[in-house]
Structures are given as C-alpha cells and as structure tokens.
Amino acid sequence: MKKIIYILISAALLANGIDAPAQTWRGKHNGLPSGFSAKSVYGNGTSIIVTNSSSFSGSQVYLTPDSSTAFAASPSALGLFATMESNVAKAHGVLFAGSSVGLYKSYDNGQTWVAAGATGAVYQVYSRHDTLYASLGFSVKMSADTGTTWTDLGYTGGSLAVSYLKSGGTLFVGSTSNLQYTNDNGHTWTAISSPSSMNGVSIVGIAALNNNIYAACSNGVYKSTDGGVTWNNVLARDMFSLIAVDSSLLGGTATNGMFQSDMTGTTWTAINTGLPYTGVAAYNAINSISYNDQFIICSAGGDSAIYVIGNGELGLHPVPDTSTTTTAVATISGQENNCSLYPNPATSSITVELNNHTTDNIAIAVYDIMGRKVKTCGHENAPTIKMDTKDLQPGTYFLHITQGKECIVKRFTVIQ
C-alpha cells in the first residue's frame, strides 16, 4: 500500500512540474569573471563554449575542455566595446559566432577567434549541412563556403531574424515579430498568420522532432505536423529558448525554469532542481540551451550562471551532429589557389584544374544555394576534371572538392 501511495504521489508531483530528485542541475561557473552575462552556450565534444554579451566584464568568449576544468578566456580580435550577439554554429569543422562588429570564426574548436569577413552586426548564426545562415542586420544571408561569400535570401520579415531551422527543403526563420518560411531558395516567403497568438511576438527558437516542427515564443511552444502550415499550442509558458535533443525537446522559460517534452512534444515536465531560484516564485530566465557528449548545458541568467545536467539523468543519448563535416575547408590555408574553375558563369559545362595537387581519391560534389547536394561526380584521379552542367537549373552553386581531410569550395553560376 505504501509503495502504491508513493507512486501516486510521485506521478502527481511530475504532473505538476515538480522535479524528480535524481535530476539535478549543477553550476559550472569556475573561471568566469564577475559580471559575465552569457549570450549563448555551445557544446562541442566534451567542451563547453560560452559567449559574453557584456563589453565590460572579461573576454567575449570563454572555453572549458571538460566538466572538471575552469573556463578560460579565448583570445579574439574583437574591439574593446564589442559584444557577442549570436549563438555559436559549426560548418566544415569551423566554429562561427556573430558579434556587434561582424562575424568571427575559430579553427581550433573555440580556443582562438579571428574575423570571418562579414562586417556589421551579426545577430544570429545557424548551420545545416555545412551551409551557414546569418542575420546580417535585418537581412537573412546564406554562405556555403564558410563565410567567404554570402547570398541574400530576400527575407521579407521586416524585423530582426533571431532563430532558424532547416528541415528538408524548407528554411524557417523566426523574427522578433513573426515566423516565416521559404521552400524555393528565398524567392518567396510565407508568413504564419494563424493562430494569431504567434504574431507580434518574438520566435525565440525553432526545432524539429520526429518529423514535426516546433516554434517557441513569448506565449508558448507551438507544434506543426504539416510542415509549418498549421500550428497548435503544446506548452503555455513564456519561452526564452528551445532545442531538440535525442527524443525530446528542451524549452527554457522566462520565469518557470526548464521543461522537457516526451517524444510526441505534447507532454512536458519541469526539470528545475538545482537551477537558481529568485525567491519570488520565479526561476532565472533560461536564455540559451545546448549539449555536448556528456551534458545538457544552459545559461540561467544572473552573474556567470552556467548550469549542466548529465544527459543520462534526463534519459537522453545525443548522437554526434552529422550535418557538418569534421574537418575545416582548405580555403583556410589558401589551398583554393591550387584549384581553378572555368568558365564562370557556365552554360553547359565547367572545367576544374587542380594545380600542384595530388589527384588520388578526389571526390566532387555540387551544392545549391540552400545547401542541398544536387550532383556528385564520384572519385576522379586526373588533374583536369570536366563536369556537365546542363542538368542544373540557372542559379548559384558551390563545388566541393574533397580529398582526405581537405575540402576546397568554389562558387560558380549556371546561366542559360
């Protein structure tokens, strides 16, 4: 009888959002300066990277290689009063982060950072299949060559883009006032008009789980089972962040802490034990969530408030991100000078010449402007390679030439 009563009480506590005792967040602040204000957290292998939105407290980026080592400042070329404005994203093994003075990148997993070329404020960065999407001012731009060149996607949101999701051939963009999507490379954009509660609010996070799309905003989490056409509310909370991990969604709120969903995204449970509590019936805002091989990581507002919880404690088993290659493109070290492509623009074919380059096991692939692989040429072993382009629609493409751990990216245009 006692056992039955205990089970019933435990079920009631979970139903009301009260945490299971085994699920406990632990502070991970050692090494962060006083006054540090985390803009974002990012898990990478066993390491944790946090970006600083304060220009007066320490460096802009801090890194710890594992759970037991203190955070250390990562050198960067940002100016004294520059601030980090975006999350961290990875493409071709290179990390990217946006700041108030431009895009920055790291070739050594966050230890050092250098300017990436894009100037002006970069408010958000997102990567899918090695293609970068970024909020450059009020525009949305895309780069398939690690930020060397950018294509404007004609975003018509009229407000700042703060969240992204690429699902299949559709790119979803959440702004400070609405949610829009394009499935034709940015030629047309569709704004979500229903329900009305999703309009006029900031879309702080977008995630995909089990072929469904979820969007988090200031009045809750909404679910779409038809690719973004219709939406229904599944969690009524003031949301600050949202990610998908393994078979669950994790949502951070403004005052109610962290919530975890079931695999259907309809049932949510609070997981707040150990998170900072204000003492006035509210938790600190969870403004950023990520994960690495060991932990779920979050920024819980306040002074240097980084918290972790074991993946296993939440029943999660994240798999490595397979949407990005693990090695940096060769353009980093100037290897692109060892390759030439002509004619450009092309009408019926292109010729690629590999200058002073061994030709063993060369793999050729072509990606379109949305980062989709549209053509492969298998493995070539000749210094000069000719590729037919008559089967490609007019537009901009990116040729990836991969050999071992090197990948050269060349941009070209197909015209009629």
In this predicted model, what pLDDT tens digit does every residue of 149-166 receive, in sequence order? Answer: 899 999 988 889 999 999
Are 254 and 302 in a shared domain? yes
Are 219 and 278 in a shared domain? yes
Range in 80-89, 162-171, 369-378 the model is least confident about? 369-378
DSSP secondary structure string for all residues of 84-120: EEEEEEEETTEEEEEETTEEEEESSTTSS-EEEEEES
pLDDT > 90? residue 214 = yes
How many distinct structural domains can be found in the chain? 2
Average pLDDT taken over every residue of the chain: 83
pLDDT tens digits, residue range 40-58? Answer: 999 999 999 998 887 666 6
* C-alpha to C-alpha distances, 184 to 107, 179, 187, 333, nearest whole angstrom: 32, 16, 6, 34
Are 243 and 175 in a shared domain? yes
Which of 258, 283, 314 is a domain's end point? 314
Are 79 and 163 in a shared domain? yes
Average pLDDT over every residue of 366-392: 77
pLDDT > 80? residue 252 = yes
In a domain, 265, yes or no: yes
pLDDT > 80? residue 12 = no
Average pLDDT over every residue of 105-116: 82
Range in 245-249, 307-311, 348-352, 371-375 the model is least confident about? 371-375
In a domain, 302, yes or no: yes
In a domain, 180, yes or no: yes
Spatial separation of the C-alpha atoms in residues 218 and 39, rounded to whole Å = 18
Q: At a CB cut-off of 8 Å and minimum separation 6, what does 71 contact?
A: 29, 30, 31, 32, 48, 50, 62, 63, 64
Residue 174: count other Cβ atoms within 10 Å of its Cβ. 29
Q: If you compute the radius of gyration of the chain from its CA atoms, what whole number of angstroms results?
A: 23
pLDDT tens digits, residue range 327-339? Answer: 444 433 344 456 7
* C-alpha to C-alpha distances, 358 to 248, 331, 363, 409, nearest whole angstrom: 46, 17, 12, 17
Are 276 and 345 in a shared domain? no
Q: Taking a C-beta distance cutoff of 8 angstroms, is the pair 304, 33 a contact? A: yes
Query: Which amino acid would we find at residue 37?
Result: S
Alpha helices by DSSP H, 171-250: none
In a domain, 154, yes or no: yes
pLDDT > 80? residue 294 = yes
Q: At a CB cut-off of 8 Å and minimum separation 6, what does 23 contact?
A: 271, 273, 309, 313, 314
In a domain, 323, yes or no: no
Are 225 and 91 in a shared domain? yes
pLDDT > 90? residue 226 = yes
In a domain, 50, yes or no: yes
Q: Taking a C-beta distance cutoff of 8 angstroms, is the pair 32, 306 a contact? A: yes
Residues spanned by the domain of 410 = 330-414
Q: Taking a C-beta distance cutoff of 8 angstroms, is the pair 321, 400 a contact? A: no
Average pLDDT over every residue of 14-18: 37
The token duo for 67 is 């759970």
Average pLDDT over every residue of 87-105: 89
pLDDT tens digits, residue range 19-29? Answer: 444 689 999 98
Average pLDDT over every residue of 397-410: 72
Are 203 and 157 in a shared domain? yes
The whole-number pLDDT of residue 13 equals 36
pLDDT tens digits, residue range 301-315? Answer: 766 689 999 999 999
Which of 314, 339, 355 is a domain's end point? 314
Spatial separation of the C-alpha atoms in residues 150 and 142, rounded to whole Å = 5
pLDDT > 50? residue 11 = no
Q: Taking a C-beta distance cutoff of 8 angstroms, is the pair 318, 291 a contact? A: yes
Of 140 and 7, which is predicted with more confidence? 140
pLDDT > 70? residue 278 = yes
Are 178 and 306 in a shared domain? yes
DSSP secondary structure string for all residues of 232-250: EEEE-S-EEEEEEETTEEE
Average pLDDT over every residue of 394-398: 83
Are 272 and 406 in a shared domain? no
Across the chain, how many H-helices and E-strands are there? 1, 35
CATH at 190: 2.130.10.10
The sheet carrying 47-52 orders its strands as 38-44, 47-52, 61-64, 72-73
Average pLDDT over every residue of 229-233: 95
- Secondary structure of residue 15 in the 3-state scheme: helix
The whole-number pLDDT of residue 95 equals 92
The sheet carrying 190-191 orders its strands as 161-167, 170-175, 179-182, 190-191
Are 337 and 194 in a shared domain? no
Residue with tokens 């949301």: 239
CATH at 396: 2.60.40.3080
Query: Which amino acid would we find at residue 363?
Result: A
- Indicate the pLDDT class of residue 326, thresholds 50, 70 and 90: low
- The one-character DSSP state at 26 is E
Q: At a CB cut-off of 8 Å and minimum separation 6, what does 196 contact?
A: none
Q: Taking a C-beta distance cutoff of 8 angstroms, is the pair 161, 124 a contact? A: yes
In a domain, 224, yes or no: yes
- Indicate the pLDDT class of residue 404, thresholds 50, 70 and 90: low
The whole-number pLDDT of residue 165 equals 97
Which of 286, 314, 342 is a domain's end point? 314
Count the residues in the chain. 416
pLDDT > 80? residue 273 = yes
pTM: 0.76
Q: Taking a C-beta distance cutoff of 8 angstroms, is the pair 318, 334 a contact? A: no
Average pLDDT over every residue of 83-88: 87
Are 303 and 410 in a shared domain? no
Are 344 and 287 in a shared domain? no
Ramachandran angles phi, psi of 120, nearest 5°: 85, 175
pLDDT > 50? residue 9 = no
Q: Taking a C-beta distance cutoff of 8 angstroms, is the pair 87, 42 a contact? A: yes
In a domain, 239, yes or no: yes
